[in-house]
Structure 1
Amino acid sequence: MADDAIAAMTAGDILMLQMEVPADTVGYAMKAAREKGVVTIFNTAPFTADVPRLAALADIVVCNETEFELLVGSKLDDASQRRDALLRLHRERGQTFVLTLGADGAIAIHDGEIIQAKSLKIEPVDTVGAGDTFCGYLAGSLEQDLDLEAAMRRAAVAGSLACLAKGAQTAIPEAGRVDGMEGSAS
């Protein structure tokens, strides 16, 4: 199946993967995508022992705070330590890292620059699926040629809106609603 999906892709397309499929399949797909010039986004959830090895293969790595600490191998007590860890990993690997921060939005390192995106100020009903919503909107926005900063803003708004309803898939907001709320992120 990975072969069929990647065969249909062309250079510059986006392939997003996460750990709810076998690790060997994820690794195979990332390597095949790279050979074709396909941009790979790897969501480290759910974090397993295979994640550090697989994360090294991706162009863009997306983690939540807990997963990022597991990836770097240490507890990060504040925003300064997270920023330092992002900078260090980026310098070592040359990859883009996106770190979701819940109510605090998201932070990333890309091409040596720190990028931040704010989430909406909300009273969450259910946070299940917020990370998946963020990742889906991030990948979709990049596929639509938004730059990383704009894609992160859109994804942070979508992730916030997903917290306003119960459930995972049923809470994913429609694009029109997300786009209408982008200016409200503070």
Structure 2
Amino acid sequence: MASVVVVGSINLDIVASASRLPTPGAKVTDALLTHHPGGGGANQALAARRLGADVSLMGRVGSDAEADTALALLRENGVDLAGVVEVPDTATGVALIAVAASGENQIVVAPGANLRLMSESLQVPAVDALIGEHLAPRDAVARAIETFDGFTCVTLATASEVDEVVLRHADLIVVNESEAAWYGDSLALQKGLVAKTSGASGAALYRGGEQLARAASPAVKAVDTTGAGDTFTAALTLALVEGQPYAEALSFACAAGAAATQRNGAQPSLPTRDEVERLLKGND
């Protein structure tokens, strides 16, 4: 069993599922409201665990009732939470998510306790791989990746400035189409692998600007795309650590991401390894 540590955000997702997403200044009044555990780091940790890895999570939650909800599925699935610290007098991070019937979403995040993840307090365990989520404080992610002795992955989850240490030391960088466009040629200058995701169109893997592999995403009926990117990242990291060839690893990750869109909610939708492998076989 591969071992993975994730440094990233932990949130409570407040989800409004509606027929369509609102345009600026408009209202949509047919939504159904639900609450789910979420946060990019927490999603990646649970995804890796359900795909078969031994997983630990490093992050921060508030001293409130929302923390218990945010951590519930991680505890239930056996993710090691020794690195998750409760911050007094601080709110747990919250994501406000609107989801359309098509599966598309809009997300606004109030990070709360996630901002209190400090680099000097990190004691990263000796494991096979580390995933750093860029929505966590940048200095904490940079220190974790710079000092970690193993396979490192970073998700540039928003198009914003990133510490050069992260880019220089990452063995794998994951971006979507808009993030890839924002970072531009700087990604091709890095020594590590770069995975560029294109939603339902699949993904491609590069090194030094040269394409190494491309994979299609299995055709599925998307219900909610929240968490699909986090699942892709966890699956690709795990597959590469396991020694899967680039093309097979990318296909596995695309199938995992697609599988995560078939149920509502970020963490409730995360697939098991059996579910991903069945989807892969059905796509052959």
| TM bracket (short chain) | 0.7 to 0.9
Aligned letter for 2:204? I
Aligned letter for 2:198? L
1:134 to 198, 212, 232: 232
SS at match of 1:4: coil
Over alpha carbons, which structure has the higher Rg?
2
Report the CA distance between 1:15 and its aligned residue.
Answer: 1.1
Q: In angstroms, what is the RMSD of aligned CA positions?
A: 2.2
Distance in 1 between residues matched to 2:213 and 2:157, nearest whole Å: 22
The answer to whether the aligner puts 1:65 opposite 2:177 as a matched pair is yes
* Residue number in structure 2 paired with 1:148: 246
Distance in 2 between residues matched to 1:52 and 1:105, nearest whole Å: 28
1:45 to 137, 141, 157: 157
Is the CA contact (8 Å cut-off) linking 1:19 and 1:47 kept in structure 2?
no
SS at match of 2:134: coil
Once the two structures are superposed, residues 39-79 of structure 1 have per-residue CA deviations (whole angstroms, 9 ceiling, x without a partner) of: 2111101333236663333111100001111111xxxxxxx
* Residue number in structure 2 paired with 1:183: 281
* Residue number in structure 2 paired with 1:166: 264
Q: Bigger CA drift: 165-174 or 17-26? A: 17-26
Structure 1 spans left out of the alignment, 5+ residues: 73-84
Is the CA contact (8 Å cut-off) linking 1:105 and 1:119 kept in structure 2?
yes
Aligned letter for 2:191? G
The answer to whether the aligner puts 1:25 opposite 2:140 as a matched pair is yes
Is the CA contact (8 Å cut-off) linking 2:142 and 2:163 kept in structure 1?
no
Distance in 1 between residues matched to 2:259 and 2:212, nearest whole Å: 24
* Residue number in structure 1 paired with 2:116: none
SS at match of 2:173: strand
Is the CA contact (8 Å cut-off) linking 1:154 and 1:182 kept in structure 2?
yes
Aligned letter for 2:267? Q
Is the CA contact (8 Å cut-off) linking 2:146 and 2:165 kept in structure 1?
no
Distance in 2 between residues matched to 1:154 and 1:184, nearest whole Å: 13
Is the CA contact (8 Å cut-off) linking 2:212 and 2:246 kept in structure 1?
no
Number of residue pairs aligned between Structure 1 and Structure 2: 164
Report the CA distance between 1:179 and its aligned residue.
Answer: 0.9
Higher strand share: 2
| Cα gap change, 1:53 to 1:185, in 2 (>3 Å) | farther
1:95 to 180, 185, 192: 192
Is the CA contact (8 Å cut-off) linking 1:52 and 1:71 kept in structure 2?
no
Distance in 2 between residues matched to 1:101 and 1:32, nearest whole Å: 31
Distance in 2 between residues matched to 1:117 and 1:39, nearest whole Å: 22
Report the CA distance between 1:171 and its aligned residue.
Answer: 0.4
Once the two structures are superposed, residues 107-140 of structure 1 have per-residue CA deviations (whole angstroms, 9 ceiling, x without a partner) of: 1114744310111112211111100010111112
TM-score between the two structures when normalised by the length of structure 2: 0.53
TM-score between the two structures when normalised by the length of structure 1: 0.78
| Cα gap change, 1:52 to 1:31, in 2 (>3 Å) | closer
Structure 2 spans left out of the alignment, 5+ residues: 1-82, 84-120
